[in-house]
Amino acid sequence: MAALVARCRRTACLTMRRLCVPLVIVLAAACRESALTPMGTASLVLSEIRLRGAAPVARRMDTDAKFARSVLDGIATGDSAWIEVAKAIEPGSSAVDASLTIALATALPLAPRAVLPLLGATHAAEEVCGIPFLQPSKDRITRYRDSALAAVLAVDVTTAARAGSAAPLPDTALRRKRGLCAAALRGSAERKLTRIDPAYVVKNKPVVPKKPPPKKRTRKTPRRR
C-alpha cells in the first residue's frame, strides 16, 4: 500500500513539472516580447544589467529597436522600477542618450520626486528639463512647461528629522536640483516659443509703467512793496 501511494505521488509530481515548465517558458517569452512593457519587464532588464553590465544593455538598445522602445516606453511612465533602469543604464551612444533624455523628460511631470535625483553628470538638468522633444508645437511647449513646473515645484525637499531634532531637515542636493530644473523649464520654454513665434517676446514682454512727466517749475514773481 505504501509503495502504491509513493508511486502515485511521483506520477503527480512528474505531471505537474511537465505542465509548469512550458507555462513558465510561455510567460517569460510574453514578458520579453510584449510591446506594452508589462509588470515584471523592468525587473528582467535590471537582472540583465546585473548579469551582463550596463554597457552591453545600452549597446543592445542601439541594435534592438524593439527592446529599446520597450525600455524607453517603460521609463516614460515614471514607474519606480523603470526609473531604477534609467539610473542603471549608461548611454553608449548619442542616440541612446538623446532617447533616454526624452523618456525622462516625459516622466518628469508624472514622477518628479523620482526623476529629480537622477539629474547630475549623466543626465544634465538643462537637458532633461529643457523640453527636449522633437519639434514641439507652441501649445505643447506651454502645456508641458506648466504641468512639469507645477509638479517640480511641488516636490518636498525635506528629509526625515534626525534623532533629537523636532523639525525635518532640508535636502540641500534635491533642493538645488529642483531649482536648476525649474530654471531650465522656464528658460527653455522662453527660447523655444521665441524661435517658433518671434512676436511671443513682444506679446509677453512685461509692461513697464510709464513715468509721470516732470512737473514744470513755476517762477515766483517778487511782490511789489
For residue 27, what pLDDT is reported? Answer: 36
* 135 and 201 within one domain: yes
Give, in degrees to the nearest 5, the angle at Cα 184 between 112 and 104. 40
Neighbouring-strand partners of residue 170: 158
Q: What is the mean pLDDT of residues 196-213?
A: 64
| CA nearest neighbour of 45 among 71, 63, 64 | 71
Q: Does residue 176 lie within any of the structural domains?
A: yes
Supply 80's cell numbers.
Answer: 519606480
Supply 99's cell numbers.
Answer: 532617447
For residue 16, what pLDDT is reported? Answer: 41
Q: Does residue 119 lie within any of the structural domains?
A: no
Give, in degrees to the nearest 5, the angle at Cα 115 between 165 and 130. 125
pTM, whole model, 2 decimals?
Answer: 0.70
Q: Does residue 14 lie within any of the structural domains?
A: no
For residue 122, what pLDDT is reported? Answer: 81
- Report the chain's mean pLDDT, rounded to a whole number: 79
Domain with 178, as residue range(s), is: 131-156+172-206
For residue 158, what pLDDT is reported? Answer: 85
* 103 and 30 within one domain: yes
* CA distance linking residue 165 with residue 59, whole number of Å: 48
For residue 4, what pLDDT is reported? Answer: 44
The rounded percent of the chain whose pLDDT value lies above 90 is 57
> pLDDT tens digits, residue range 19-36?
443 333 333 333 344 444
* CA distance linking residue 44 with residue 31, whole number of Å: 9
Q: Does residue 65 lie within any of the structural domains?
A: yes
* CA distance linking residue 154 with residue 140, whole number of Å: 21
For residue 13, what pLDDT is reported? Answer: 47
Supply 144's cell numbers.
Answer: 508641458
Under the banding of pLDDT at 50, 70 and 90, the label for residue 90 is: confident
Q: Does residue 224 lie within any of the structural domains?
A: no
Question: Which of 1-10, 126-135, 180-189 shows the lowest mean pLDDT across its residues?
Answer: 1-10
Does pLDDT of 112 surpass 70?
yes
> pLDDT tens digits, residue range 131-187?
999 989 999 999 999 999 999 999 998 875 555 555 667 789 999 999 999 999 999
Q: Does residue 90 lie within any of the structural domains?
A: yes
Q: Does residue 221 lie within any of the structural domains?
A: no
Q: Does residue 66 lie within any of the structural domains?
A: yes
Residues 10, 11, 12, 18, Cα dihedral to 10°: 110
* 140 and 93 within one domain: no
Task: Check if the beta carbon of residue 54 is closer than 8 Å to that of residue 90.
Answer: yes
Does pLDDT of 102 surpass 80?
yes
* 200 and 144 within one domain: yes
* CA distance linking residue 115 with residue 119, whole number of Å: 7
Across the chain, how many H-helices and E-strands are there?
A: 11, 2
Structural domain total, the chain: 2
For residue 63, what pLDDT is reported? Answer: 92
Task: Check if the beta carbon of residue 109 is closer than 8 Å to that of residue 148.
Answer: yes
* 136 and 74 within one domain: no
Residue 7 vs residue 170, higher pLDDT: 170
Q: What is the DSSP string of 177-217?
A: HHHHHHHHHHHHHHHHHHHH-THHHHHHSPPPPPPPPPPPP
